[in-house]
Amino acid sequence: MPLVLKETTIVMGNRKPFAVVLLCCLLAAVAAMPAEHAEPVQDGAISTYLVHVAYSHAPRTTRNTARLTRAYTSFLRDTLPGGINAPAPSILYSYAHAMTGFAARLTARQAAHLEAQPSVLAVTPERVYKLHTTMSSSFLGLTPFSPLVTESNGGSEAVIGVIDSGIYPKGRESFAANRWMGPPPQSFLGECVSAPDFNATEYCNNKLVGAKFFLKGQSYYMNRSRTDTPLDLDGHGTHCASIAAGAPVPNANYFGFARGTAKGAASGARIASYSVCGGVGFGCTQSDVTAGINEAIGDGVDVLSISLGFDEDQLYKDPVMIGAFRAVLEGIFVSTPAGNDGPDYAPVESLAPWVCTVGASTMNREFRVPVVLGNGKTYTGYSLYSGSDPYGTFKPLVYGVDAGSAICEPGKLDPSKVKGKIVYCVVGALDAGWAVKQAGGAGAIIGSPESYGDFARADTHFFPAVSVTRADGQEIRNYSQTPNAVARFAYFGITSKGFLSPPSPRVASFSSRGPNRLVPEILKPDIIAPGVDIIAAWTGEASPSGLAMDTRRVKFNINSGTSMATPHVSGIAAMLKVARPDWSPAEIKSALMTTAYNLDNSGGAIKDMATGKEAGPFQLGAGHVDPNRALDPGLVYDANEYDYISFVCALGYTPQQIAILTGGSPVQDICSRHGELAVGDHNYPAFSVVFKSYDEKITQSRAVRNVGSNGDAVYTFSYRALPVGWSAIVNPSKLVFDEDNDTLEYEVTFSLLPTVRNSSETEAHSALVWTDGKHKVVSPIVLTWPAPTPTVAVV
């Protein structure tokens, strides 16, 4: 079922306008495509299923996929009885790394029969994912001389696997190898494959070391306009890959905007691209995504950067979380996006403790356009329009409602009311500007959703159009309804930087927030990283706006989303992995989280753009990533397979469900062997404490490893902000390490004070800080408790 198409209906007050905007590339292509192509192929009642097989019944071959597939084909032949074996099922992929089993085209009856087999753990119909510079690297403190870059040689011994829409290396210097770059590490087994439009010999090098495609699952939903290829027909994959590890490209810019040297977070690291998403108005199927992750694990990548998300209701149903579980046990760090559904309550995605879930924040740069009204008032518009038409003369201003469409939908504006005018649209996607242009308008001012607060997105318009904040939009709307209203754009194409910008970083309004709806005790998102107005490489196969009617092609594009925040963390993790080869993925994540910062460049707490108020752990996780400090965190919180199994046991998962994640066979007493830990005892570098009653006392245990240079370090604890309405007892209150034992345990007992009963608040936050005088190991604390039961008034 092409779920992504549901997202294309933009209605006023839509809860997810930003998700829609980010899917621009997909939307446009959908619009341009004959409608029937968007429908799944009605192939009888056959659809794609993921079949999870118990390890003890799985073929014992891992790298030889042809043999695996033959084995699963005969398994199907032997298992399906005469009555239901037609039409003969076909296997799309067989998997040994990202999950154990295969993806096949089956009828519902065949699927049900398979699921009843003892050798089969689960059979799930596949779903479709949504896809969710360069100044970001200097903003992050990643100069050629910064400690993390020098200690890791820019991450040159690491390969980052990018699971996305492919890569566009033609004429893109971001993916060029410099002549000092040797071959990739020997542990990497991947390669580039050729296609008619992708010459692996020509495009691949010591920078782009892998390029493969997995698009069979997608072919059942629609025809790609091109033969299968690693080439990026969308732009998203190219953008994300160059954010993670693009080589430095001087004088990069987007129509003059954001001019400077564009480079990835780990500009020395290698890129292996796995194309699993289409560029034809479609997201990514679960079978293709699993195939990409499967291949990347088999190839031996060091980091997996997966900028796509899916909101399954259980970890064992989510192929990215399953694949990530396996990857992490192979020592691969996995970063995933929080999602772009903010600022609503608790829509955050990527909820497992074994992935690093990244939210999006701003940098100290904005693309502003002064909007002047006839009444003399000036507002700040945001836009990446760079047309050369000399603007600046007043034009009549008309409200979209009075011209046929409040949100300026294409085809709905009355040209006789719009011609030569600037139109105010209440909210709108990229194509609102297009709609105004089509109707003969001179420009568009587009309001933002109410939930966005102070945020208005600078979009890659190809028509004079700007976004304004909700509050400004309302004033402009009111003015547009006065007689003879006029407006003008003072000038396009300015970049305000540094002191001229508001404090940064701020949490982007669209960045999805906690709490974690599956496991509230695991704080999500984990961290924030730059995800607003990021310049990075773009495909030559699609326009920067993603609109099909936009014929422009660019080498660099500016884009926003948690998809863009995620590869920043992937690049940083790749460098950490090189600089600290003995750290596990959990320890790398711990180092990133406990050293993250919480103050903006004005010295105040990092703000949430949606509310203008201080952001808490549900908005920013542990804080903003601080790459160089992550190199020397002092203490780290580790987690291994045993801990993750204990964790899923504490969630109440059955042995079958656990086996889906681990790739083992169901072990009936697995959880009693793992002791009776509570979910909150998972060794996470953050505390999310969920009170069910006011009187509860909640104890959570943790273990920390000393990775500082002083083996005899002594750590004492404090809180970042004084507890108000709650208390916590830390035991022991001092951690005395010695050379023989670098790992120590402690526990914290949280309780609420009676005052919270009468408070209107149901949440408090602070942070637990361990310090030895040199390091500060900071773990966010967030406590939630039930709202007071309203007293029943007697009338």
Ligand X SMILES: *[C@@H]1O[C@H](CO)[C@@H](O)[C@H](O)[C@H]1NC(C)=O
Catalytic residue ranges: 164, 236, 563
CB 747 within 8 A of CB 731: yes
Among 50, 106, 122, 222, binds ligand X (CB under 6 A): 222
Among 186, 201, 693, 789, binds ligand X (CB under 6 A): 201
Cβ at position 760, least distance to ligand X in Å: 12
Cβ at position 291, least distance to ligand X in Å: 20
- Contact stretch for ligand X (CB under 6 A) within 205-213, 494-502, 524-532, 741-749: 741-749
Cβ at position 371, least distance to ligand X in Å: 15
Instruction: For strands 249-254 and 356-361, give the pairing.
Output: unpaired
Q: How far apart are CA 343 and CA 363, in angstroms?
A: 19
* Strand ranges, E, within 574-696: 607-608, 635-636, 687-690
- Contact stretch for ligand X (CB under 6 A) within 6-14, 44-52, 108-116, 195-203: 195-203
Among 375, 478, 602, 731, binds ligand X (CB under 6 A): 478
Window 378-417: residues binding ligand X (CB under 6 A): none
- Closest to ligand X by CB, 31 vs 346, is 31
Among 115, 151, 475, 747, binds ligand X (CB under 6 A): 475
Cβ at position 222, least distance to ligand X in Å: 5
Cβ at position 319, least distance to ligand X in Å: 23
Cβ at position 619, least distance to ligand X in Å: 26
- Closest to ligand X by CB, 494 vs 677, is 677
Window 243-302: residues binding ligand X (CB under 6 A): none
* Residue 735 parent element (H or E): strand 734-736
CB-neighbour burial class of residue 293 (10 A; exposed 0-12, middle 13-18, buried 19+): buried
Count of C-beta atoms within a 10 Å radius of residue 551:
8
Q: How far apart are CA 606 and CA 780, in angstroms?
A: 14
- Contact stretch for ligand X (CB under 6 A) within 197-205, 208-216, 404-412, 576-584: 197-205
- Closest to ligand X by CB, 198 vs 462, is 198
Residue 242 Cα distances to 38, 255, 568, 635, 654, angstroms: 30, 18, 10, 31, 41
Give the strand order in the sheet containing 635-636: 635-636, 697-706, 743-752, 726-731
Q: What is the DSSP letter of 793?
A: P
Helices 655-662/319-329 angle, 10° precision: 60
Q: How many residues bind ligand X (CB under 6 A)?
A: 18
- Closest to ligand X by CB, 227 vs 741, is 741
Cβ at position 636, least distance to ligand X in Å: 15
Window 32-71: residues binding ligand X (CB under 6 A): 37, 41
Cβ at position 742, least distance to ligand X in Å: 8
Instruction: For strands 303-305 and 159-164, give the pairing.
Output: parallel
- Residues with Cβ within 8 Å of 82's Cβ and at least 6 positions away in sequence, in order, are none
- Residues with Cβ within 8 Å of 732's Cβ and at least 6 positions away in sequence, in order, are 746
Cβ at position 112, least distance to ligand X in Å: 26
Among 197, 202, 389, 676, binds ligand X (CB under 6 A): 202
Residue 36, both tokens: 């029937």
- Contact stretch for ligand X (CB under 6 A) within 372-380, 585-593, 596-604, 739-747: 739-747
Number of H helices, E strands in the chain: 22, 36
CB 277 within 8 A of CB 234: yes
- Closest to ligand X by CB, 398 vs 507, is 398
- Closest to ligand X by CB, 696 vs 745, is 745
Residue 403: closest CA among 411, 413, 394, 393: 413
Q: How far apart are CA 532 and CA 561, in angstroms?
A: 6
Site pattern 432..471 for ligand X (x: CB under 6 A):
----------------------------------------
- Closest to ligand X by CB, 37 vs 259, is 37
Handedness of CA 734, 740, 743, 745 (dihedral sign): negative
Count of C-beta atoms within a 10 Å radius of residue 392:
11
Residue 76 Cα distances to 34, 69, 85, 111, angstroms: 36, 10, 9, 11
- Closest to ligand X by CB, 330 vs 450, is 450
Window 742-761: residues binding ligand X (CB under 6 A): 743-745, 754-755, 757-758
* Cα of 576 vs its chain's centroid, Å: 20
727 touching ligand X, by CB under 6 A: no
Among 143, 150, 223, 731, binds ligand X (CB under 6 A): 223
- Closest to ligand X by CB, 41 vs 494, is 41
- Closest to ligand X by CB, 147 vs 723, is 723
- Contact stretch for ligand X (CB under 6 A) within 196-204, 499-507, 616-624, 638-646: 196-204
- Closest to ligand X by CB, 37 vs 674, is 37
Q: What is the DSSP letter of 40?
A: P
Cβ at position 553, least distance to ligand X in Å: 22
Cβ at position 364, least distance to ligand X in Å: 29
Cβ at position 200, least distance to ligand X in Å: 8
Among 199, 227, 314, 416, binds ligand X (CB under 6 A): 199
Residue 605: closest CA among 590, 593, 616, 621: 616
Q: How far apart are CA 322 and CA 345, in angstroms?
A: 25
Residue 266: closest CA among 157, 185, 180, 192: 157
Count of C-beta atoms within a 10 Å radius of residue 791:
6
Count of C-beta atoms within a 10 Å radius of residue 664:
17
Among 153, 474, 665, 716, binds ligand X (CB under 6 A): 474
Residue 176, φ and ψ in degrees, nearest 5: -90, 145
- Residues with Cβ within 8 Å of 47's Cβ and at least 6 positions away in sequence, in order, are 40, 105, 106, 108, 125, 126, 220
Report helix, strand and coil shares of the chain as percent, to nearest 5. Answer: 25, 25, 45
- Closest to ligand X by CB, 20 vs 735, is 735
CB 418 within 8 A of CB 495: no
CB 163 within 8 A of CB 273: no
- Closest to ligand X by CB, 727 vs 743, is 743
Cβ at position 434, least distance to ligand X in Å: 26
Q: How far apart are CA 78 and CA 261, in angstroms?
A: 59
Count of C-beta atoms within a 10 Å radius of residue 636:
26
Q: What is the DSSP letter of 526?
A: -
CA angle 490–494–496, rounded 5-degree value: 120
Residues that bind ligand X (CB under 6 A): 37, 41, 199, 201-202, 222-223, 474-475, 478, 741, 743-745, 754-755, 757-758
